[in-house]
A and B are shown apart, each in its own frame.
Chain A
Amino acid sequence: DAGVIQSPRHEVTEMGQEVTLRCKPISGHDYLFWYRQTMMRGLELLIYFNNNVPIDDSGMPEDRFSAKMPNASFSTLKIQPSEPRDSAVYFCASSWGGGNYNEQFFGPGTRLTVL
Chain B
Amino acid sequence: KQEVTQIPAALSVPEGENLVLNCSFTDSAIYNLQWFRQDPGKGLTSLLLIQSSQREQTSGRLNASLDKSSGRSTLYIAASQPGDSATYLCAQIKAAGNKLTFGGGTRVLVKP
The interface residues of chain A lying within 8 Å CB-to-CB of B65 are none
Interface of B is mostly: strand
Count of chain A residues with a beta carbon within 8 Å of a chain B beta carbon: 26
- Residue B49 lies at the interface, judged by CB distance under 8 Å to chain A: yes
- Residue B31 lies at the interface, judged by CB distance under 8 Å to chain A: yes
With A106-B44, A107-B43 known as contacts, the answer to whether A33 contacts B100 (CB < 8 A) is: yes
The interface residues of chain B lying within 8 Å CB-to-CB of A109 are 42-43
Alpha-carbon gap, A9 to B45, bound state (A): 17
Q: Is the CB of B100 within 8 A of A45?
A: yes
Kindly identify, within residues 21 to 58 of chain B, every residue whose CB is under 8 Å from any CB belonging to chain A: 31-32, 34, 36, 41-46, 49, 51, 53
Q: Is the CB of B51 within 8 A of A101?
A: yes
The interface residues of chain A lying within 8 Å CB-to-CB of B69 are none
The closest CB in chain B to the CB of A100 belongs to B51
- Residue B88 lies at the interface, judged by CB distance under 8 Å to chain A: no
Chain A proximity of B44: nearest CB distance (Å): 4
Alpha-carbon gap, A56 to B94, bound state (A): 14
Give the most central of B31, B44, B45, B97: most A CB within 10 Å.
Answer: B44
Q: A residues engaging B (CB < 8 A)?
A: 31, 33, 35, 42-45, 48, 50, 55-56, 91, 93, 95, 97, 100-109, 111
